[in-house]
Amino acid sequence: MKPMKSEEPLPGRAVSLILLLCVSGMRAETARYSVPEEAERGSFVANIAQDLGLTGEELLTRQARLVPEGAKQYLQLNQRTGDLVVREQMDREELCGQSEPCL
C-alpha cells in the first residue's frame, strides 16, 4: 500500500504548528473576588500577582489591566506589587438594582 501524500507542503504545516503552539501559550486569566459593599476607598482586596503565580514585574511586563463591565472602574491594580484595591466605593442598588443575587 502506498502512503497518501498531502497536498499541503511540509513547510506550511510546520508554520501552522508553530503558530498553534505560540497562540496556545497566550491566554487570559479571569479572577473573581468578593468585595463588601461598605469597603472604603483604598481597601485591600487581593494580591493578583500572588493568586496567578506571577511577580509584580511579570504583571508589569505583561501589561496586566482591569477591564470593567460597566462605565465605572471600582477597583485599581498596582502593576508593580499586584495589589488590587478599592478605587471607588460600591453601591449595590446602583450596580444591580433589585436583582438577586448581585454578582
Query: What's the pTM value of the predicted model, to 2 decimals?
Result: 0.62
Q: How many CB atoms lie within 10 A of CB 101?
A: 5
Q: What percent of the chain has pLDDT over 90?
A: 17
Print the domain residue range for 88: 39-96
> What is the CATH number for 75?
2.60.40.60
In a domain, 50, yes or no: yes
Which tens digit of pLDDT belongs to each residue from 51-99? Answer: 888 888 888 888 888 888 778 888 899 988 999 999 988 877 777 777 7
- 49 lies in some domain: yes
List for the chain the helix, strand, coil content (%; round to 5): 30, 10, 60
In a domain, 30, yes or no: no
Size of the chain in residues:
103
Number of structural domains in the chain: 1
Confidence band, pLDDT 50/70/90 cuts, at residue 44: very high
Residue 84 in domain? yes
